[in-house]
A and B are shown apart, each in its own frame.
Chain A
Amino acid sequence: MYESFEVNRPVEEVADAFKKRADECLNLAIGSQTKPTFGTPSSVHYYAKVKPTVATSAKRTEMYVQILFEHQIGVPKDGMYYLIADAYPSGKGTRVDLYRRTKMGTVGEAIRGWASGKNMGCPDPGTFL
């Protein structure tokens, strides 16, 4: 899925927001735990790892989100690419091009918020994993 939007902020500010929020919101492991009514809960079984990467140059910022599920083979080291965001100067602001899997809708929404600076919240992993 492809979407593109512009924000009224310089690309450097968008890059800073991507770096800060991507690490806080998307650098995570997903696990499950069984909690019986009586007795001790099971240990957490982690079955997926999400890894964001933000690369910046003077005039461009790229963000990749990879997800690696357990038992996957034949995929890149940190998992398949689920979302790519390219931010670059456009007029007085920044244009962001988003390429994402359909399921990554909330991550796309969160990136819009980070880029504009209007909503710095994190996407709920339960909505995209």
Chain B
Amino acid sequence: MKRERRLGATCACIATVLLLSACSGVKNYPEQKTQNLRIHTQVDSVSATRSTVAEFDVHLVDSHCETEYQGRVYLDQPLVETGIPTERMVYLDFIFASKTMLSSTVSGIRHGVLFTPRSGYEYDVKVSYDKGIYDVVLREMRDGTITRVIPRRSLDECRGSR
């Protein structure tokens, strides 16, 4: 009886965890066949009491600048490789989330890049956060040569240009 009760509690916990992850609206970006996006990340927190993590959301964007969420990539390794669709607009929404110890508040900075990746090209991103200074630099490359640096562009700019 005791064992059954414990098993029931365990199942309830798992269900709660699943339910929580389902309700948060954030899902992992699925594995991609073509790896055309390489992200180099260097995150150093401001202090011992304030920790920062980096991640980004991938959205597909239609001609009306409406987004379709694809998932989140966690930049918890110095190098992360994934793939993004080509020949259509995508919006990469980089997030730096910081939390101070013993505080329930999370502060976040978003850095969005809206662009159309080209097939046959690779995209290399340098994401950094050091002593309160953050940067995201996205470069388009072909055969190891930088062909252009993709500037920051928000969805508001896209909507404003329609």
Contacts and interface: CB of A to CB of B under 8 A. Distances in A.
Given A24-B152, A37-B20, A38-B23, A124 B96 contact: yes
Interface residues of B, number: 17
Given A37-B23, A38-B23, A127 B152 contact: no
Contact of A109 (B98, B111, B133, B135): B133
Nearest to B107: A126
Chain A's interface size range is: 10 to 19
Contact of B109 (A24, A38, A109, A126): A126
A102 interface: no
A127 B133 CA distance: 9
Nearest to A125: B109
Given A37-B20, A37-B23, A126 B134 contact: no
Contact of A122 (B20, B98, B131, B134): B134
B127 to A, nearest CB: 10
A17 interface: no
A113 interface: yes
Given A109-B133, A126-B109, 18 more contacts: A24-B152, A37-B23, A105-B132, A106-B132, A110-B133, A119-B135, A121-B128, A121-B130, A121-B134, A122-B109, A122-B134, A122-B135, A124-B132, A124-B133, A124-B134, A125-B107, A126-B98, A127-B132
Interface of B: 20, 23, 46, 96, 98, 107, 109, 111, 128-135, 152
Interface of A: 24, 37-38, 105-106, 109-110, 113, 119-127
